[in-house]
Amino acid sequence: MTILDFLEKVDVFKNMNDEQLKEIQGCSHIENFNRGDRLFAKGDDSQHLWIVKNGQVDLRLDVSENSEIKNNPISFISTAQTFGWSCFAPPYKYRLSGYCSSRTCEMVKIEKNRLIELFEKDADIGYQVMSYLVEVVGTQFYQYQNEIAKRIGEGIMASW
């Protein structure tokens, strides 16, 4: 499956025409990872929008070796899901670390700067992408909030 065939199946791009998808494809490339590989670290400059083509990615807090939550994902991203929205929000740094958690991960990486140039050229693409990403941010915030509450609750119960 080509990047173009894949992109038309991804929610963020599902309402785009072939010309728009070709423009997105021009900003994209494929990168492969193996289980345990770090895609990016918390605090790194966020320069890409990411889409899982195959596999699964865990988003984690990088914490000390002694922490109970080490290697415990806050969220996971699977096939055709988009993440890396922090490339569009100051301070343009990743807020979590991303790791390949399946045997292999095939990722579509879309270059932020080229994507922004495309938004300026075709405002419809920019509107569609940013509208979708606002929804993603809201969903992820809700997931993080629930995970934090769960972990606090488990800590309270364990201390009884």
Range of the domain at 59: 3-158
Q: Which residue type is seen at 100?
A: C
Which tokens go with 32? 């492969």
Helix-helix angle 18-26:112-121, to 10 degrees: 150
Residue 12 vs residues 15, 19, 37, 133: alpha-carbon distances, Å: 8, 15, 26, 8
DSSP 69-82: TTT--SEEEETT-E
Say how many C-beta atoms besides its own lie within 10 A of residue 98's C-beta.
26
- The number of domains in the chain is 1
pLDDT at residue 71 in the model: 56
pTM attached to this predicted model: 0.80
Other beta carbons within 10 angstroms of residue 93's beta carbon come to 15
Residue by residue, pLDDT tens for the chain (160 residues) are 688 889 999 989 989 999 999 999 999 999 999 999 999 999 999 999 999 999 999 988 876 554 454 456 666 777 778 888 899 999 999 988 999 999 999 999 999 999 999 999 999 999 999 998 888 777 777 777 787 788 788 888 888 7
Number of H helices, E strands in the chain: 4, 8
Residue 79: which CATH number? Answer: 2.60.120.10
Altogether, the residues listed in the chain come to a count of: 160
Question: Which residue has tokens 């492969």?
Answer: 32
d(CA 134, CA 152): 27
